[in-house]
Copies of this chain bind each other. A is one copy, B any other.
């Protein structure tokens, strides 16, 4: 029971454990480029699943995909003063467009007149397009999305959580009225919630950001925050109501129903490959990754046992037949994804490889199973129980229930952990400080806040931030945990990624 597939447990050292999960599951690795990672098939497969599921939701809510340039001319950034303040610091800048060989060395040549910024986000360039596309209320709303790579030159990077280059989707919309834009902002927040809850098995708290945590240029930023197993918060994505900020900077004006010119109200919303990191820290255990079934590139893996060489072909055929039959069934509205782990050279340890990868169901098939019509099955969340010998008929009859049971278990474990670690009894600043300074796993503190922007700085001392003001408010009256003043708003305080 105490033997685990990873060399480090969560309790030993959570950040090191995180790296070991990624390595053990072969999800990604550091590249030779500072702060950039190579996303390997098992990690990228999860992102592809997230993409597919989220893209369907984005389209179902009336958005269309586009693609905008990677580069943004420097002078376009200067137009948007507020936006600059937030992003000016760390961006990759292209200054040359040619290399010339000289004595076997490459030299920079072709200096650009206007340097090009590698997009850290695309509000500026998309707003410029919107200003071309929109001239009348009849052109509104415009609702688009793009899947793209973006670059922010982060000093301290960690795979999936914070990398210089990352993959994301960014939605951008423009509307006739404030009300419509705010409705859009919240609609997309709920789309993200659905993804998190239904597909990532990850409970999240939806809320507004405090002013200090808002996106540069936004009037209101909404977030969905998840709790990682070390009690830190992870901002899993955001949805911004941008007001007229970008419309004024880029001159997105339209002739309104009243015959007057108006600025459009815009929104943007995004989520990233960081979600893969969130999955690790929500569902991983001391044996490695555990992938939610709707995200798993393979939901069930068959491992042919290779000891008896004379039986190998027959075992493989048996597994392939099972794969075919399973794939004729669906789970959560999609064809089941089964995989036969074809032996390639080294054949030992494959069972534990799939444990570390976190495939939901792992089956070993040996010569005796051929005779008996059976297999040895493990569910990833129950691997320390004895492997069950099940008949293939049972497997085929129960695959939905097996995947569903595993999914439910992940959801319940994550929700229980999260709920057990939201602390509501903290009343004063001293208590708050002591809580975060004295607890290794401090979780979230839910307390009242007076909404005075200046008070957010008080939290810096112990590296805590207001994660959000939850959409679900208790409505009770109390005292601000920072100032002691009367306050009604509930806020979530936490350390964060």
Contact stretch, chosen from A136-144, A449-457, A465-473: A136-144
A99 to chain B, nearest CB (A): 5
Binary flags per residue of A94-121, CB closer than 8 Å to B gives 1, else 0: 1111111100111010100001111000
The answer, among B69, B99, B108, B149, for a CB contact under 8 Å with A36, is B69
A325-362 residues with Cβ-Cβ distance < 8 A to B are 344-346
- Please tell me if the beta carbons of B66 and A38 are within 8 angstroms of each other in the complex: yes
Interface residues in A, total, Cβ within 8 A: 72
- Please tell me if the beta carbons of A67 and B94 are within 8 angstroms of each other in the complex: no
A446 to chain B, nearest CB (A): 37
- Please tell me if the beta carbons of B106 and A69 are within 8 angstroms of each other in the complex: no
Closest to A343 in B: B138
Say if the beta carbon of A318 comes within 8 Å of chain B: no
Say if the beta carbon of A125 comes within 8 Å of chain B: yes
CA distance A346 to B68 in the complex (A): 26
- Please tell me if the beta carbons of A95 and B68 are within 8 angstroms of each other in the complex: no
- Please tell me if the beta carbons of A108 and B90 are within 8 angstroms of each other in the complex: no
- Please tell me if the beta carbons of B99 and A88 are within 8 angstroms of each other in the complex: yes
- Please tell me if the beta carbons of A91 and B95 are within 8 angstroms of each other in the complex: no
- Please tell me if the beta carbons of B88 and A101 are within 8 angstroms of each other in the complex: yes
- Please tell me if the beta carbons of A97 and B153 are within 8 angstroms of each other in the complex: yes
- Please tell me if the beta carbons of A106 and B77 are within 8 angstroms of each other in the complex: yes
Collect the chain B residues with CB atoms within 8 Å of residue A167's CB.
67
Collect the chain B residues with CB atoms within 8 Å of residue A144's CB.
41
Closest to A72 in B: B33
A122-139 residues with Cβ-Cβ distance < 8 A to B are 125, 128-129, 132, 136-139
The answer, among B98, B108, B129, B137, for a CB contact under 8 Å with A95, is B108
- Please tell me if the beta carbons of B344 and A138 are within 8 angstroms of each other in the complex: yes
Say if the beta carbon of A475 comes within 8 Å of chain B: no
- Please tell me if the beta carbons of A106 and B74 are within 8 angstroms of each other in the complex: yes
Binary flags per residue of A71-98, CB closer than 8 Å to B gives 1, else 0: 1111011100100110011111111111
Q: 6 other contacts beyond A36-B71, A77-B106, A88-B106, with CB at 8 A cut-off?
A: A44-B67, A70-B165, A88-B100, A89-B100, A93-B96, A148-B149
**In the complex, the 6 A-B pairs of residues with the closest C-beta atoms, listed nearest first:** A138-B345, A36-B69, A41-B64, A39-B67, A97-B153, A93-B96
